Amino acid sequence: MTSVSDAAAKRENVIIFDTTMRDGEQSPGASMSLDEKLELAKIMEEMGVDVIEAGFPIASNGDFEAVREVSKIVKESTIAGLCRAHTMDIDRCAEAIKPARRGRIHIVIATSPLHMKHKLQMEPGDVLDVIARTVGHARNLCDDIEWSAEDATRSEREFLRRAVETAIKAGATTINLPDTVGYTYPTEYADLFRYMVENVDGADRVIFSTHCHNDLGLAVANSLAGVQGGARQVECAINGLGERAGNAALEEIVMALRVRGDRLPYDTRIDTTHITRASRYVSAITGFPVQYNKAIVGKNAFSHESGIHQDGMLKNRETYEIMRPEDVGQAPSSLVMGKHSGRHAFRAKLKDLGYELGQNALNEAFGRFKDLADRKKHVYDDDIVALVDDALARGAERIRVKNLRVVAGTEGPQEAQLTVEIDGEERSASATGDGPVDAVFNAIHVVAPHGATLRLFQVHAVTEGTDAQAQVSVRLEEDGRIATGQAADTDTLTASAKAYVNALNNLFARKEKTRPDPAIASGF
Ligand code: KIV
Ligand code: ZN
């Protein structure tokens, strides 16, 4: 008979490769600032992500800088940078990951007939030559080389096998077979890995990896099937962020492996209690809301509304719960503290919520908490999360909102009187608008003239009740550059002004960096 410890000993590890900052950032509108990427990298490292793909270094100076700065601060996770199969991409990537304790060069080239003919305009034999040359070049610069066959699931199997063998022979250590267009289905994808593991010369020397897009809603199912077929690395993104319909969601992959360990006997290194925080942070910095009924991290993922379900839950949670909210860090939002709570209790509360702030950040957050407690009867965990994330989202601020008064009501025009500080100098203006939010944004335009267009304005209540904080996300676009901003406040109009100004600050910061070369950023 097999004992429990025998079974546990047989469990294999699956490497979690997160691509939120690379493939995730390729979703239109989901760009992140350097500070946001650094904070996200810290969250991922604490969560136990094995490989963090921090960007595509050749695409822009901003991407290069992000990969290099993430490489400097992360110690536990491997830092990967993406490259096309070009020597200059690979050299740039090697430079970016140089400070990393563990760095990886990730090279991609397409292998499907469609992509080779129309996109690369190359003969299959030439593609094999390029693979051998570029992987070999990269291997001279770094010991950890991932090679990806773009559009692998629409590639001819025999050619794909030869391409994989070529990459292994040239020194690749991980072989990724992406379902680039979200076309495959689970049994087919599992079969592809089984075939490669059994037929590729040198398969035993590499880790096979999945990378699934969600065009048919199958990304997670396909990734898990890939693991059953022999893959031991899964590429995924927090909240399923990614090109078009997104990538396989990290939180769903990890929890499926954990909850269904009977069928999927694989472990990950992820500390699942960090999942909710990571999800909220990615949603806040990208301005992409998490749908209420999203698996694992949706607001309703652990809510039980019907009487029958509530009755069952009271008798035994397992009647309707296959995992506990606390397993994913979604503790029930509890009443925390009031205005008499001290700094010590506040620091302990932050720690419970997964935040370890330095002294200055703690003092700042505590001051804001006291202000909030003065204005709001009950301060909940979610209020504290919004308050701290709001502060983290604000990096270097050229513009700061100092004062706002708004005249609103049934009789227009609504009017906003605003005072801001720009590079240390106070400026005031009034403006009218079609509604109070429009008036506020017009006033910002007067004090800080800019050419950006508002692409998204979104408000949600952090908790229940009329004194709830409003969390506002704003997305602005100027000349193809996109920046998001967010802010939380019990006054919706103040939160709106601060979120807009936060987006402007991020846009200004981004302007100082070189724009990505569209030819590079749009294809491999
Ligand atoms: O979807 C894809 O093929 C990719 C590769 C770069 C891995 O994102
Ligand atoms: Zn992808």
- Amino acid type, 388: V
Average pLDDT rounded to a whole number, residues 92-109: 98
Provide the pLDDT for residue 518.
Answer: 47
Query: What is the band of 224 on the pLDDT scale with cuts at 50, 70, 90?
Result: very high
In angstroms, the CA 298 to CA 308 distance is 22
The ligand minimizing its distance to the Cα of 149 is: 1
Statement: residue 513 has pLDDT above 70: no
Give start and end residues of each alpha helix (H) in 171-218: 186-199
Question: Ligand 1 center to residue 51 CA distance, Å?
Answer: 15
In angstroms, the CA 493 to CA 506 distance is 20
Between 394 and 99, the more confident residue is 99
In angstroms, the CA 159 to CA 144 distance is 24
In angstroms, the CA 147 to CA 80 distance is 12
DSSP category for residue 235: E
- Give the CATH number of domain 393-509; options: 3.40.50.300, 3.30.565.10, 2.30.30.60, 3.30.160.270: 3.30.160.270
The ligand minimizing its distance to the Cα of 115 is: 1
Q: Which of 156, 51, 137, 151 has the alpha carbon at shortest distance from 109?
A: 151
State pLDDT tens for residues 241-296: 999 999 999 999 999 999 999 999 999 999 999 999 999 899 988 888 898 899 99
State pLDDT tens for residues 449-487: 999 999 889 898 887 777 788 889 898 888 877 788 888
Average pLDDT rounded to a whole number, residues 402-431: 94
pLDDT above 90: percentage of residues in the chain: 63
Contact 499, 492 (CB under 8 A): no
Q: Atom 2 (ligand 1): residue with closest C-alpha? A: 180
Question: Ligand 2 center to residue 237 CA distance, Å?
Answer: 10
**Atom nearest to 108 CA in ligand 1:** 6
Q: What is the pairing mode between strands 414-422 and 399-407?
A: antiparallel
DSSP category for residue 331: P
Provide the pLDDT for residue 2.
Answer: 44
What are the extents of the domains in the chain? 19-261, 393-509
State pLDDT tens for residues 69-98: 999 999 999 999 999 999 999 999 999 999
Question: Ligand 2 center to residue 462 CA distance, Å?
Answer: 32
The ligand minimizing its distance to the Cα of 180 is: 1
Statement: residue 53 has pLDDT above 80: yes
In angstroms, the CA 286 to CA 474 distance is 9
How wide is the angle at C-alpha 243 spanned by C-alphas 240 and 247, nearest 5°?
A: 30
Provide the pLDDT for residue 307.
Answer: 67
Average pLDDT rounded to a whole number, residues 393-412: 86
CB neighbourhood size of 87 (10 A): 12
Structure-token match 């991020």, residue found: 506
State pLDDT tens for residues 351-387: 877 777 888 888 888 888 888 888 877 788 778 888 8
Contact 197, 227 (CB under 8 A): no
Question: Ligand 1 center to residue 384 CA distance, Å?
Answer: 37
Question: Ligand 2 center to residue 309 CA distance, Å?
Answer: 39
All residues at 6 or more sequence positions from 287 whose CB lies less than 8 Å from its CB, including other chains: 29, 456, 458, 473, 474, 475, 484, 486
Give whole-number Cα distances, 297 to 44, 260, 324, 472, in Å: 16, 18, 12, 19
**Atom nearest to 19 CA in ligand 1:** 8
Query: What is the band of 514 on the pLDDT scale with cuts at 50, 70, 90?
Result: very low
**Atom nearest to 150 CA in ligand 1:** 3
Lining ligand 1 with CB less than 6 A are 23, 82, 108, 148, 150, 176, 178, 180, 211, 213, 524
Contact 258, 266 (CB under 8 A): no
State pLDDT tens for residues 113-125: 999 999 999 999 9
Provide the pLDDT for residue 43.
Answer: 96
Query: What is the band of 57 on the pLDDT scale with cuts at 50, 70, 90?
Result: very high
Statement: residue 521 has pLDDT above 90: no
Contact 82, 22 (CB under 8 A): yes
Q: What's the count of helices (H) and strands (E) in the chain, helices before strands?
A: 18, 18
CATH class for domain 19-261?
Answer: alpha beta
- 413 upstream amide cis, omega within 30 of 0: yes
Name the percent of the chain in helix, strand, coil, to the closest 5: 45, 20, 35
Contact 508, 500 (CB under 8 A): no
Give strand pairing partners of 428: 419
Q: Atom 6 (ligand 1): residue with closest C-alpha? A: 108
